[in-house]
Amino acid sequence: MGKLTGFMEFKRETPTRRPVDERVHDWLEVYEDFPVEKLKTQAARCMDCAIPFCHQGCPLGNIIPDWNDLVYREQWRMAIDRLHATNNFPEFTGRLCPAPCEAACVLGINDDPVTIKQVELSIIERAFDEGWVKPQPPEKLTGKTAAVVGSGPAGLACAQQLDAAKQEVQVAQSQGNGKKANGATAKTASKPAASRRS
Ligand code: SF4
């Protein structure tokens, strides 16, 4: 774990939201940047629970205590490797997920939960800044093609897994109202999150 007494010493702190009057005129990030030192302090609140309920809370099974500890120790490269082990697109989930991991966090029983989502987002943004996120095209393809319907985060994650399994992949987007997919696109438009991996 990060700091043994971190959860007793530090209070939860999250990034400041930009003023609403400003935000309604653009599609830029909702939150101000969060300094690294503050983030490390937040990661230090993680208790590395013997039974980490955050795991059960996360639909992806993200290995949350590990990367909280790695961020506290500034082991960013290992942190992104650990995050990518269970999460194809942390740049999406770190922005759009309602964070059931935080609702499940053991620290939340009698205090504010760990700021897991902010730690996640900061790890992937650091990885992009450092140039650690690279395309990983398969060396050869099987010659078969798989179709994925829906280009939201789940559809794209499915496509990425198929790509890793050496399948040609065609992703189709529904012409319905597609509220979730459109929302994802809009919220990540400030940093073209959807195109940074191509
Ligand atoms: S439940 Fe909360 S305090 Fe416990 S390991 Fe997970 S993030 Fe850390």
Architecture of domain 6-130: Orthogonal Bundle (1.10)
The beta strands (E) that lie in the chain are given as 145-149, 168-172
Would you put residue 48 in left (φ > 0), alpha (ψ -120 to 50) or beta?
left
Radius of gyration of the chain (CA): 18
Q: What is the pTM of this model?
A: 0.87
The ranges of the chain annotated as CATH 1.10.1060.10 are: 6-130
Nearest-angstrom CA–CA distance, 195 and 198: 6
Examine the pLDDT at 189 and tell me if it is beyond 60: no
**Ligand 1 pocket by C-beta < 6 Å: which residues?**
46-49, 52-54, 64-65, 68, 105-107, 114, 116
Q: Which of 114, 115, 120 to mutate to test the pocket of ligand 1 (most atoms within 8 A of CB)?
A: 114
| pLDDT tens digit sequence for 4-41 | 999 999 999 999 999 999 999 999 999 999 999 999 99
Q: For the chain, give me the number of helices (H) and strands (E)?
A: 11, 2
Please report the pLDDT score of residue 178 as a whole number: 46
Please report the pLDDT score of residue 176 as a whole number: 59
| pLDDT tens digit sequence for 48-81 | 999 999 999 999 999 999 999 999 999 999 999 9
Please answer whether residues 44 and 2 qualify as being in contact, where contact means their C-beta atoms are separated by less than 8 angstroms. Answer: yes
